[in-house]
Amino acid sequence: MRLRRITTALALATGVFFQLPLRGAEPSRPNILWIIVDDMSANFSSYGETLIETPHVDRLAGSGVRFSNAYVTAPVCSPNRSAFITGMYQTSIGAHHHRSGQGELKIHLPDGIRPIPELFQEAGYYTAITGWPNRDRRSVGKTHYNFEWDPAMYDGPDWGKRQPGQPFFAQVHLPGGKHRGRTLESFDQISDRVEKLLGSRTDPAKVQLPPYYPDDPVIRRDWAAYLDSVRLTDKFVGDVVERLKEEGDHEDTVVLFMTDHGISHARGKQFLYDEGLHVPLVVAGPTIEPGQVRDDLVEHIDIAALSLALAGIEIPRHMQARDILGKDYQRRMAIFAARDRCDETVDHIRALRTERYKYIRNFLPDRPHLQPNRYKDGKEILKALRRAHGAGTLNETQELLFAPTRPKEELYDLTEDPFEVRNLATDPKHQAQLGKLRKRLDGWIKRTKDRGPESEAMYDSNMAVFADSPNADAEQARILSRNIALMKRWAAEGK
């Protein structure tokens, strides 16, 4: 332990000794380390996944508290990351449209709201953000905040550069589900890599697909590659923990493990079904009793308040995040989520989830579920789904993906229908429940000052950046231009 080594050396030099806290006693300023993973649902052994083993995440969960009902407030990375770094709903701070504020028009945080690395810095913490593997320790981790922020809020990519005895607040960002890529070749590449590292690869024939996806060989290969990316992520988590142990920091560090949203799939990433919202959340470290499982509803933004509290830093009164390990914590009875524009694709969806029910409101019901989106449409899994739809081989549940319009409201009984495929919004037996949840969502929208759709000027500003992307070839540029024109035409038509 770094602090113990420093103190021992000082004692030997001066002849003055004093009693250090015993292991398990609360350190005054623990290190806080976030491990944040891209594009991954709760497909870990400790969360019930049976086809693969994830020993490192499971061990971390066993040494602390595992939250079985953690949900993101945005199912795509930049609004999500803008939310958890401020402890605020992305809809409240105007950062809810994916990859926004990059053009001529910028987004600024409301007065008084600040990213929490600034608060850690002011409390004397070294703040780091890193990628992994980071053997040279110079790789800067992912930010993707939609608002203007000062890069100086991070001291560097390597927490090992801090001053002796200085605590650190660090983030390690892992590619997660992005490892599997989007093509058949990339599926094989990640599984080949995992087989070399771990001795085996996931068998596509053994994959259990959700009922809203067809039993298609491409989708099976993709899901197997995804599970191999989970296994690789688990190894990296073990590497991070091992570094803490090797450098003597493990006993002084609270480790938080979470993903930034669910699996990137047709009904996952970008959407408000549980496949897009439900994420793993594990917290372990000094003062946290091991072996806990919490089943209450928590939101991913809560990690901001929790981390500040663990460090003894005052939680700003405006912050919507809650200290979920605090003695006075009042459990949430519902979580809220929002989907807005993703890249060029305009959308406006809001949802709330209680322990039993999911309520979704589609503000653009005249649009199809699978609107054109250059990012998603380039994936082999979407191409396979469209081929199956065109061939007429999808069943009624799977055809939900290709509905030409959406219901204005969706209501699902998650106890009876965990895959959210039987909409009860028009069922006479559920009208009372629908009314309660409708009113509850209205209250949240008003109370949190939901900013809603972006202006046409902001959309045009962001699309100008997308169109000038140096990584887009001529065909991608053509698709983007077509999709932007379609978004504008539908808006003009009132769709």
- pLDDT, one tens digit per residue, over 365-393 is 999 999 999 999 999 999 999 999 999 99
Mean pLDDT in residue range 37-44: 98
- pLDDT, one tens digit per residue, over 65-78 is 999 999 999 999 99
Q: What percent of the chain has pLDDT over 70?
A: 93
- pLDDT, one tens digit per residue, over 139-148 is 788 999 999 9
Rounded Cα distance, 458 and 61, in Å: 42
In this model, does residue 410 exceed pLDDT 80? Answer: yes
In this model, does residue 13 exceed pLDDT 50? Answer: no
pLDDT attached to residue 23: 29
What residues does 254 pair with on adjacent strands?
32
Residue 140 has φ and ψ, to the nearest 5°, of -80, 135
Secondary structure, 3-state, 165-213: CCCEEEEEEECHHHHHCCCHHHHHHHHHHHHHHHCCCCCHHHCCCCCCC
pLDDT attached to residue 137: 65
The pLDDT confidence band at residue 467, using thresholds 50, 70 and 90, is confident
Rounded Cα distance, 198 and 201, in Å: 8
User: Which candidate, 254, 277, 56, places its Cα nearest to that of 169?
Assistant: 254
pLDDT attached to residue 135: 54
pLDDT attached to residue 151: 96
pLDDT attached to residue 292: 97
* Tokens (6 digits) for 267: 């009904």
CA 44 to chain centre: 15
SS3 426: coil
In this model, does residue 15 exceed pLDDT 50? Answer: no
Rounded Cα distance, 176 and 198, in Å: 16
pLDDT attached to residue 447: 98
Mean pLDDT of the chain: 93
In this model, does residue 16 exceed pLDDT 80? Answer: no
Domain ranges of the chain: 2-492
- pLDDT, one tens digit per residue, over 300-344 is 999 999 999 999 999 999 999 999 999 999 999 999 999 999 999
Give Cβ neighbours of residue 477 (< 8 Å, ≥ 6 apart): 467
Residue 298 has φ and ψ, to the nearest 5°, of -135, 155
Element (H, E) at 224: helix 217-246
* Tokens (6 digits) for 323: 């200290």
Q: Which CATH architecture has domain 2-492?
A: 3-Layer(aba) Sandwich (3.40)
Q: What percent of the chain has pLDDT over 90?
A: 89
pLDDT attached to residue 132: 72
Mean pLDDT in residue range 442-457: 98
The pLDDT confidence band at residue 470, using thresholds 50, 70 and 90, is low
pLDDT attached to residue 138: 67
| Amino acid at the residue 99 | R
pTM over 0.85, yes/no: yes
In this model, does residue 104 exceed pLDDT 70? Answer: yes
The pLDDT confidence band at residue 424, using thresholds 50, 70 and 90, is very high
In this model, does residue 192 exceed pLDDT 90? Answer: yes
Map tokens 């600034």 to a residue. 118
User: Which candidate, 274, 257, 280, 260, places its Cα nearest to that of 70?
Assistant: 280
